A = this chain, B = another copy of it.
Amino acid sequence: MNTERPIGIFDSGIGGLTVVKAIQAALPHEQIIYFGDTARVPYGPKSQVTIRKYAYDDVAILMRHQPKMIIVACNTVSALALDVVEKASGAIPVIGVLKAGAELAVKATKNNHIGVIGTQATVSSNAYACAIHQLNPEIEVVSKACPLFVPLAEEGFIDHPATKLIAREYLTDINKHGIDTLVLGCTHYPILRRVIEETIGHGIRIIDSAEAVALRTHQLLTESGELNHHRRTTAPHLLVSDLPQKFSVIYQLFMNSELPDVELVEV
């Protein structure tokens, strides 16, 4: 039965764990298989050719486990290689964080001014602005790359004064544009959600792409009748291409739970 098959999620590294957490919260009975390409992280600063090659590999690894759908937790892949994922995954549905986040942001904005923050590659690709404009060409989108947010999150500098200074530096410009909605266009950023929220001001609606994906996944599986209602909740099945130091510390930071068994796969 399709309902029993796992949901496959992949990311360039461990950032996609925020998506795993959101899916677990929204769909507690689903089996999740997660691949983090920790040997080749980060994808963000790499060229499009390289990112597309990596995306193909990542899908191939998940496909061995016969997922009922694939979630692209990586914003970079969602922006630059979603077609590669769709081709490599055959007939099963694919959800990318980017489109899910864009859709939720478009629904949320009242004044048609949306801000997007992400890695350099995501922002340079202009993919969020394109996805938003496909839904509503009248919306004004202002974007800002925040390259230090990922290492700050991984270092656990959640409440650090330096993080606040850097957030202020990154977000001041974006704040001048009168946005009412801000998309966290990188899976690491929910870890810094509080400092981002405080810096940008509490009147602005934060769109967490991970939550957006979880909503969309729930909707899609409900429509297709593939939602799993009965399975006992278990830890996600974790695949990584390299087992980095501090992995269990970062896992706890992202998931608020102990690291389960991790399987190493070659890319």
Are A121 and B46 in contact, CB atoms less than 8 angstroms apart? Answer: no
Are A245 and B151 in contact, CB atoms less than 8 angstroms apart? Answer: no
Please report the total number of A residues contacting B with Cβ < 8 Å.
30
Are A162 and B151 in contact, CB atoms less than 8 angstroms apart? Answer: no
Are B50 and A46 in contact, CB atoms less than 8 angstroms apart? Answer: no
Q: How many copies does the complex hold?
A: 2
Chain B nearest CB from A154 CB (Å) reads: 7
Residues of B within 8 A of A50 (CB): 39, 242
A40 at interface by CB-CB < 8 Å: yes
Are B165 and A161 in contact, CB atoms less than 8 angstroms apart? Answer: yes
- A135-151 residues at the B interface, CB under 8 angstroms: 147-148, 150-151
Are A244 and B147 in contact, CB atoms less than 8 angstroms apart? Answer: no
A-B contact pairs, 21 of them (CB 8 A): A38-B46, A39-B40, A40-B40, A45-B244, A45-B245, A46-B244, A47-B242, A50-B242, A120-B245, A120-B246, A124-B245, A147-B154, A148-B155, A150-B151, A157-B166, A160-B165, A161-B165, A162-B163, A162-B165, A162-B166, A165-B165
